[in-house]
Amino acid sequence: MTFIENDVWDYVIVGSGVLGLSTAFYLKKSSPDTKILLLDKYPGAGYGNTGKSNAAFRNIFDTSLNIQLSNSTMNFFRNKAKNGYDLDLKEVGYLWLLTESQFQSKNSPTINLEVKNKQVDISLLEFMSINNIEYEVYNKEQLSDLLPDLILEFKENHQNEKNIEDDIVKGENIQYGLLGKQCGSLAPDLVIKLYQKLYKELYGESRYNCEVLEILLKEKDRIFDEDYFPTVWRDSEIGAIKVKNRTKKSVSIIQTKKLILATGAWINQLLDPLGINSGTKAKKRQLFRICGLNNFVKTSKFDNKHQSIPFTILPIGGVFIKPIPEAKCVDVGCSDDVGRRFETRTLEESKKQSMDNKYLDNPQGEVDFYITNILPVLETYFPKIFNEKTKIDNPSAGMYSYTLDKYPIIEKNPKLGNLYYCSGASGSGIMKSDAIARIFVSLIMGDKYSELFDKTKIKVSDFSINNRNLPKETLVI
């Protein structure tokens, strides 16, 4: 049996991942006297894809906007860490291992800037210097000393002896390394705890184990009527949401003046039934943990206080190695774009009185993917460290919500004026979370510009679908 709750909330926020929680905090901070309710279908905050995140961060991009989004967020986190919040923030650096052609592309004038009213073309390295990005370039000899187990050169007709399903990895010679120094990783669960504490200190309200089954409309400026149905000759808006309490097995209707969606990969399950195109699609990403690598992970040769190798990106396939120095482990992975399906709700699941989706809710790490895609590249460059005998301790997977341009969509729906959503962080949710949340709240509050932690001003409408005006970013991992 479904019952209608008496309270009408000013704002209901659906999704308590890093974007939902940070949005809830800044909205409550901006509007302390309003009634705000944060909902999530899981037992607690951050149980979805935030908790499964790689949680790496960097400020090496080829657009000023992405540098601003990342720097302002990470400076907010650094500030909180200095003031006693444990975020397990490790600035171990990001190291790109580069072939000659890859390095030359970063050292060639490919970025157009306006300098003193003149258009000039500069290289990525010059661009980083202009933006005060701390970096270092290593030559082959330096890399050999820093990473003695790394294979730098291959014979002209080199072929990896390991043949996997008739696919042979051909090693490409590494000539340079590019190290971003203000990069690294942090703990996603501790980021969640930070925003959760900040939100609770403002007496923000939350409910967990509450799954949104349906978004319900009403006639604009009228009271909510459960039997209302939209027509082309009436203006509609959000009236309420139908929610299932997963613990009590009850279903209720929660009324709200404004509905805010920060559900990441699940956004289309809520918007598709309304005929609204979110502009995002969800795709699985995987991590594979390998432990017992003390002599590989721990090193004093790189200039970081954790005595660790950097987060390292190999020149083939985007395969990366994330160090976990305290555990003497690494997480390895890569982004497989071609051949990896976008996930959505299946027809069979849409007929059920549930939003459960095995693809979105419980993605699984695929050992075969590691064996056929990641391991061949790892053992090509680090054959003494990674081989077929290397044991995977913990395959895991989560979902990315992607947009075409890899920037988030921060939107107020033009037809349902009290519906707001933010989705499509495209794998950068944590490293840009504070900036994204501030921009999202500025949209909700009706501001044209948003001020980030470092006082940078961002035009809010640039992140909308219809007024999108964002620079092209090519440095995507």
Q: So where are the chain's domains?
A: 1-90+183-280+403-477, 94-181+281-402
Q: What is residue 25's predicted lDDT score, i.e. its pLDDT? A: 99
> What are the residues whose beta carbons fall under 8 Å from the beta carbon of 232, sequence distance 6 or more?
none
Q: What is residue 164's predicted lDDT score, i.e. its pLDDT? A: 47
Regions of the chain where pLDDT drops below 70: 156-167, 345-356
> Phi and psi dihedrals of 85, rounded to 5?
-85, 125
Helix ranges (H only) for 107-187 are 124-130, 140-146
Strand partners, 320: 313, 333
Residue range 1-90+183-280+403-477, CATH number: 3.50.50.60
Give CA angle at 470 (466, 472), nearest 5°: 130
If we measure between CA atoms, which residue out of 59, 66, 34, 53 comes closest to residue 458?
A: 66
> What are the residues whose beta carbons fall under 8 Å from the beta carbon of 230, sequence distance 6 or more?
217, 236
Q: Which two tokens stand for residue 151?
A: 């294979």
Q: What is residue 238's predicted lDDT score, i.e. its pLDDT? A: 98
Q: What is residue 116's predicted lDDT score, i.e. its pLDDT? A: 81
Q: What is residue 347's predicted lDDT score, i.e. its pLDDT? A: 45
In order of 6, 8, 110, the CA distances from 29 in angstroms are: 25, 20, 41
CA distance 200 to 218: 31
Q: What is residue 393's predicted lDDT score, i.e. its pLDDT? A: 92
The conformation of residue 43, written as its DSSP 8-state character, comes to S
DSSP character string of 153-170: ---TT---S--BTTB---
The verdict on domain 94-181+281-402 having CATH code 3.30.9.10 is yes
CA distance 286 to 364: 8
Residue-wise pLDDT for 216-250, tens only, equals 999 999 999 999 999 999 999 999 999 999 999 89
Q: What is residue 421's predicted lDDT score, i.e. its pLDDT? A: 99
* Exposed / middle / buried, residue 82 (Cβ in 10 Å: 0-12, 13-18, 19+): exposed
pTM: 0.95
